[in-house]
Amino acid sequence: MATYGSLVWVGQALGPRVDAITEDLIRVTEQMIPLNDVAADLADMRAASIAENITAVQYVLANNIDPTTVSPPPGAAAYAQRLARRGVPLTILLRAYGLGQYRILDVAIGLILAVPGPEQPARIAELLKFAGSYLDRLNSSMGRIYEAERDRWLSSRQAARQQWIARLLDNDDVDVAAAEEVLGYRLDRRHHAVEVWSTATGTDAVRALEQARQLLSAAMRTGGGELVAASGDRAMCLWFPIEEPCAIADLTDQIEASGLPVRVALGPIGDGLPGFRRSARSAARTKALVMSAGETAPLVVDYDTIAPFALLSDDPDELAGLVHRVLGPLAGDGAKAELLRNTLEVFLAEGASYSRTARILDVHRNTVQYRIQQVSGRYGIAVDIDTFELRFALGICRWYRHVLTRTF
């Protein structure tokens, strides 16, 4: 047991000075760490914590107690927990303990120096060793108390937020004002819901999602005023309060340039609580469609561009039947069939223009002609009639990859 018997008299001499040291430390702390950095209503609690800590140090020193066995005073622990719930950084609390140690050491060293003798250097060294052990024990204990309370508080707060969001999405009889207060997010405006999920794992996924949130917030120009909720494993849903939509092409370029292992699905912009719900549900449908398409899907997909296909997920057998009836063997799950389908899809979208299709695909015009001839000759698909059903089947192949593996 590490004890400091030679310093008992110092602890005893500190006893009558505790009140003065406490008052001085409260004053210095208020100057060095202003209350607006903590919370004005915590002034009394902070003062009580300082008083308890000064008394505890004096008691431990005067009674030759091993500083490595000491626990924080109850009031000090409660103060740390309150700071954790307020989101005040732990560094502010530890900084205050550093100030306290300095004040006590100043007085204690003065007491030692007031008693002349050859033992002075050894006593000061012993005092510094005691102070280091005591502060290390206190900081580590308070750090654990703070972190545990912070984790508990965030967990309970996040659970409450998730519950309110679920009520807003699924319950017509919901207290909107109470939800807004808990969530810190107004519902009487326009909302743009976005689903974001990561293909990474562990801390890499957490980091990627946070960076994606920051990127989206900047692109939406919301200044961090978005609402965030977990929507699954390594995924989150965000609502951005916006007036005008961002350019999808620009957002896609930013996501691609970032190199983040994420995918993004955007819902349509909606007004008020109905728009909040509709945008979220559409973003979720878009996400499901992107996951169905697999790696061939773009990194960023907007619901408005794929809405007809996002609404088709209820009967996969019907989808597969339509695709194979219209495309036949061209709906096969192979690289060549996929190349021809992609060429045909662009060809039809460009009004059967060989030159425009070649420019978009970055191939020679003759290459496009050869591929379209294969579609017509080898697969027997006419491209010079009403192409709505054909284009529809090609779109299903793009977004519902499972239809390609079915045999009929």
At residue 84, the pLDDT reads: 84
Q: What is the pLDDT of residues 314-356, one digit of tens each?
A: 666 667 777 888 888 888 888 888 899 999 989 988 888 999 9
CA distances from 327 to 144, 231, 354 (A): 64, 36, 21
Find, among 145, 107, 137, 143, the residue nearest to 28 by Cα: 107
Regarding whether 223 and 208 lie in a shared domain, the answer is yes
Q: Which two tokens mark 399?
A: 């977004």
User: For residue 399, which amino acid is it?
Assistant: W
Regarding whether 329 and 304 lie in a shared domain, the answer is no
Regarding whether 378 and 274 lie in a shared domain, the answer is no
Contact 384, 375 (CB under 8 A): no
| 221 conformational bin, left if phi > 0, alpha if psi -120 to 50, beta if neither | left
In a domain, 306, yes or no: yes
Calpha distance 298→294 (Å, rounded): 9
Residue span of the structural domain in which 270 resides: 185-310
Calpha distance 190→154 (Å, rounded): 28
In a domain, 169, yes or no: no
Regarding whether 214 and 303 lie in a shared domain, the answer is yes
Cite the DSSP H helix spans in 262-406. Answer: 272-293, 303-310, 316-327, 335-349, 354-361, 365-377, 388-399
Q: Provide φ and ψ at 28, rounded to 5°.
A: -65, -40
Regarding whether 301 and 239 lie in a shared domain, the answer is yes
In a domain, 275, yes or no: yes
Contact 293, 265 (CB under 8 A): no
Q: Which two tokens mark 240?
A: 């951005």
Last residue of a domain, one of 97, 131, 153: 153
CATH number of the domain enclosing 247:
3.30.70.270
Q: Which two tokens mark 383?
A: 């491209």
Cα Rg of the chain (Å, integer): 34
How many separate domains does the chain show?
3
Of 19-33, 254-268, 394-408, the poorest mean pLDDT is in: 394-408
Query: CB under 8 Å to 291, separation ≥6 — which residues?
Result: none
Regarding whether 148 and 9 lie in a shared domain, the answer is yes
- What count of other Cβ atoms lies within 10 Å of the Cβ of residue 170? 9
Of 14-23, 61-70, 150-159, 195-204, the poorest mean pLDDT is in: 150-159
CA distances from 304 to 117, 248, 286, 291, 311 (A): 86, 11, 9, 17, 12
In a domain, 163, yes or no: no
Regarding whether 363 and 285 lie in a shared domain, the answer is no
Q: Helix axis angle, 388-399 relative to 316-327, nearest 10°?
A: 130
- Decide: pTM greater than 0.85: no
Regarding whether 147 and 191 lie in a shared domain, the answer is no
Q: Provide φ and ψ at 237, rounded to 5°.
A: -115, 135
Regarding whether 300 and 195 lie in a shared domain, the answer is yes
Regarding whether 301 and 212 lie in a shared domain, the answer is yes
Higher pLDDT residue, 398 or 207? 207
Question: Is it the case that residue 197 has pLDDT exceeding 50?
Answer: yes
Last residue of a domain, one of 310, 325, 343: 310
Calpha distance 285→310 (Å, rounded): 6
CATH number of the domain enclosing 365:
1.10.10.2840
In a domain, 165, yes or no: no
In a domain, 167, yes or no: no
* pLDDT, average across residues 238-247: 86
pLDDT tier, 407 (very low <50, low <70, confident <90, very high otherwise):
very low
Regarding whether 84 and 110 lie in a shared domain, the answer is yes
In a domain, 175, yes or no: no
Calpha distance 99→135 (Å, rounded): 11
CATH number of the domain enclosing 46:
1.10.490
Regarding whether 322 and 303 lie in a shared domain, the answer is no
